[in-house]
Structure 1
Amino acid sequence: MSAVATPPSIDTLTRLRLEVATLDQISDNEKLGFIKLVSRYLSGNAEQIVWEKIQPPTDEVVVPYDDLAPLSDDPSEAKSLLDKLAVLKLNGGLGTTMGCTGPKSVIEVRNGETFLDLIVKQIETLNSKYKCDVPLVLMNSFNTHDDTLKIIEKYQHAGLQVKLFNQSQYPRMVAEDLMPWPSKGQTDKSGWYPPGHGDVFPALQNSGILTELLAEGKEYVFIANSDNLGATVDLKILKHLLMNQNEYCMEVTPKTLADVKGGTLISYEGRVQLLEIAQVPDEHVGEFKSIEKFKIFNTNNLWVNLKAVKRLVKADALQMEIIPNPKEVEGVKVLQLEVAAGAAIRFFDRAIGINVPRSRFLPVKATSDLLLVQSDLYTVEDGLVMRNSARSNPENPTIELSSEFKKVGDFLKRLKTIPSILYLDSLKVIGDVWFGSGIVLKGKVIVEAKKGEKLALPDDSTIENKHITSGPTYSPL
């Protein structure tokens, strides 16, 4: 956690409290939560990690997935487990980075189905198969709430309950004096922000959803990003947590060179803790990024005991590390303070990690990820996105697409059909490139349209281990 360079005067916090009190757009709980967050930030009392105290986690702390007890063949066991579960998807993000408006969860992923469609189908299938009632809970932000309300109307007759709540809405602070931007006349949405997914715990309590779930006999909630197609209900994990009374479980997976900045689990002063790159002293960043020493990273798939959430929120015990996020919005330098759900692990009893297969981490953050999941590398059944067993290489191909493909609309327009990439190792696309239909890519492929030129790959081409460029050097394959 970074703190302000100089300790502020008492007047700063007093003025902030007075200004926040006048903001009638948010609830008293939100005002209180915001003031507490800022107070912690202004105190500068960050807990510094002592590098020498970091220990690698043992198999008791980070349990290998293969060590989990198998399920019996009796379907009643699955039903008894599922009756204790709710699924919560973090649905506060917009698809702006991919050129979309509205919630990211309504981007079409496969065959016209959105992230949300696939999630609903997964849970419907479980409820139907095991005669249980697993609810889907969506944590929206003020940015996604209205759109999500309209979208879920189509699931009215689906075989599941859908519960909605909003995470907190906090005012952005003007960087120069740390006063709320809305109190300075910024009344539209740009004056506000959702304070990170670590807000899920108090927001669950404040919304009343936590009380509802406990009343329905739910004991655990599975929390995951709505854009992670690998984050599906895993009964072996749930069984392990119930058997061992673990209040919190973070799914981690082996780190590759693409994941070197991801948070990792450590043993620290007798407890399991998440270590983020922002907490690492500069002289140890290279060590942190090493996949030899820190071999796992956080998938943000979390399993959490609901009674423990209630206990810790009521005690105001979830003091997660603060992530200061400075931004420039409409020409104004602002500061927003955020918290991450993974950082809460150290406050729960018997918290563990489980080292899961990479297949449980399949996020779609960019159109390059969309190309992977829309291709023949994956199939979909009952909402589950599964890797094609015909691919022998356990690693996915690396895909780099230039800015011409950044927006989903442009990406779809430039590909008549999604190429076959079952035997692809890597793909790099540069410039004004257009893909015909039925294209097969194999090995290492680079497709480059030189500046000011257009390169159209013909239908039914097979491109293997080639660097293709536009201009006179290019001829149809």
Structure 2
Amino acid sequence: MAAAAATLSPADAEKISVLKSDVATLNQISENEKSGFINLVTRYLSSNPVSCTVDQTSLLLNYGLCYADLLWLFLFDAAETKKLLDKLVVLKLNGGLGTTMGCTGPKSVIEVRNGLTFLDLIVIQIEIVEKYANSKIEIHTFNQSQYPRLVVEDFKPLPSKGNTGKDAWYPPGHGDVFPSLKNSGKLDALLSQGKEYVFVANSDNLGAVVDLKILNHLIRNKNEYCMEVTPKTLADVKGGTLISYEGKVQLLEIAQVPDEHVNEFKSIEKFKIFNTNNLWVNLKAIDRLVQGDALKMEIIPNPKEVDGIKVLQLETAAGAAIRSDLYTLSDGFVTRNPARANPANPSIDLGPEFKKVANFLSRFKSIPSIINLDSLKVTGDVWFGAGITLKLEILDGAVIADKVTC
């Protein structure tokens, strides 16, 4: 989405001038990253980032194409499947380091089930799809940009003030995937191989799989961008949603909503869909927009604190682990367990004692059965034994003894 040229006040223009000088001395990042960072800060200062109240938005209740409408297109045979797959590349966002969950590496290497990690299952899924093409999977990697955090007090990059450690830098959101794909050289390489579309999804979303019906629809209709959305449930209340804002279709993230409107944003009655972050994008369109500096995605300010210093990181957005018996695992694909009668997922709220992966695993001798569970909220120092089946909702005010056997 293109935007008008940035207009800065004299004071903000001076800030950018000083910032350019400071950033020019940072040897830890490339010239492309320096340029991208300055452009991002300039846009931030020249316009007010979207910070919608719910009353300012027009909800998109009937926007887009229903998946059911794709089913009649045609039945795939091996030849048609190979033609489609030859035009596709799958890009998995490796996610953050998962530091809030106590991880020291990317979330994609967390074990999901039977010794298999998210990354293991992603490869298995693609291998199953590619069985028609009789070709091995090529795996390529590239890094997204790293930008310096801005000190709120004087608007200087934190690394230029002596802090050159990891905390001085941040990844500028998954919206950065498009310029990073171009800057890494991978985009040009993929285009030279005849690839036309990229399917982008989070590495820890095992429900995000290549759907040939969607790919076929995009190619036949020459669509450049597609976002998969799904009805919002109680488990998805923090997910971004599509809105019409000032006459434009935009993605609204919870970070853009003022505190007093967050509960309204979480309403599954008013905001009925959420963004799965499964995106289908035409590679030539990415190339055209990145080269023309026309990707003006909404900026999400994210305030942080590093060693007592208030800092700001500016991010953009491009658009759950399944460990229980709610889903079954076969050939890397997760499918709904037919034994679950309730079509809705259970609402599960675990307290801070379960936040870190190591603590979560230690508090369950084995993962409980939740096929018949509707709601569960756990707070406090709670530990689960082996072979547990959860069925009932414990009401407010109930007193639970130190040990419970049912």
Deviation at 1:312, TM superposition (A): 0.5
Among candidates 102, 116, 120, match of residue 117 of structure 1: 120
Among candidates 381, 401, 406, match of residue 470 of structure 1: 401
How many Å separate the matches in 2 of 1:99 and 1:244? 45
1:297 to 1:7, Cα distance in 2 relative to 1, 3 A: farther
1:66 to 1:414, Cα distance in 2 relative to 1, 3 A: same
SS in 2 for 1:420: coil
* Aligned residue number for residue 100 of structure 2: 97
Higher mean displacement: 439-448 or 61-70: 439-448
Q: Percent identity?
A: 66
Which AA in structure 1 matches 2:337? N
Q: Is contact 1:427-1:446 (8 Å) kept?
A: no
How many Å separate the matches in 2 of 1:280 and 1:264? 12
Question: Cα RMSD between the aligned structures?
Answer: 2.8
> Which runs of structure 2 are paired with 1:242-257 in the superposition (5 Å)?
242-257=219-234
| Residue segments in structure 1 that go unaligned for 5+ positions in a row | 1-5, 134-158, 343-362, 365-372, 449-466
How many Å separate the matches in 1 of 2:152 and 2:315? 15
> Which runs of structure 2 are paired with 1:40-79 in the superposition (5 Å)?
40-44=43-47, 46=49, 55-57=58-60, 61-70=63-72, 71-79=74-82
* Aligned residue number for residue 39 of structure 1: 42
1:96 to 1:67, Cα distance in 2 relative to 1, 3 A: same
* Aligned residue number for residue 27 of structure 2: 24
Structure (1 or 2) with the greater strand fraction: 1
SS in 2 for 1:38: helix
Q: Is contact 2:86-2:195 (8 Å) kept?
A: yes
TM-score when normalising by structure 1 = 0.77
Deviation at 1:50, TM superposition (A): 10
* Aligned residue number for residue 288 of structure 2: 311
> Which runs of structure 2 are paired with 1:262-301 in the superposition (5 Å)?
262-267=239-244, 272-277=249-254, 288-301=265-278
Matched, 1:407 2:384: no
Which AA in structure 2 matches 1:298? N
Higher mean displacement: 266-275 or 221-230: 266-275
TM-score when normalising by structure 2 = 0.89
Matched, 1:418 2:395: no
Which AA in structure 2 matches 1:104? K
How many Å separate the matches in 1 of 2:297 and 2:210? 26
Which AA in structure 1 matches 2:102? G
1:197 to 1:98, Cα distance in 2 relative to 1, 3 A: same
Which AA in structure 2 matches 1:254? P
1:46 to 1:426, Cα distance in 2 relative to 1, 3 A: closer
How many Å separate the matches in 2 of 1:287 and 1:444? 25
Higher mean displacement: 66-75 or 171-180: 66-75
* Aligned residue number for residue 86 of structure 2: 83
1:27 to 1:132, Cα distance in 2 relative to 1, 3 A: farther
Among candidates 107, 130, 133, match of residue 132 of structure 2: 130
| Residue segments in structure 2 that go unaligned for 5+ positions in a row | 1-8
How many Å separate the matches in 1 of 2:338 and 2:31? 53
Among candidates 411, 416, 427, match of residue 376 of structure 2: 427
Deviation at 1:284, TM superposition (A): 7.2
How many Å separate the matches in 2 of 1:437 and 1:277? 37
* Aligned residue number for residue 461 of structure 1: none
SS in 1 for 2:373: strand
Q: Is contact 1:221-1:303 (8 Å) kept?
A: yes
1:283 to 1:111, Cα distance in 2 relative to 1, 3 A: closer
Q: Is contact 2:91-2:199 (8 Å) kept?
A: yes
Which AA in structure 1 matches 2:164? T
Which AA in structure 2 matches 1:444? E
How many Å separate the matches in 2 of 1:42 and 1:416? 51
Matched, 1:379 2:328: yes
Give a deviation string over 1:388-436, Cα, whole Å, max 9, x none. Answer: 1111111121222223322222222222221121111122333333322
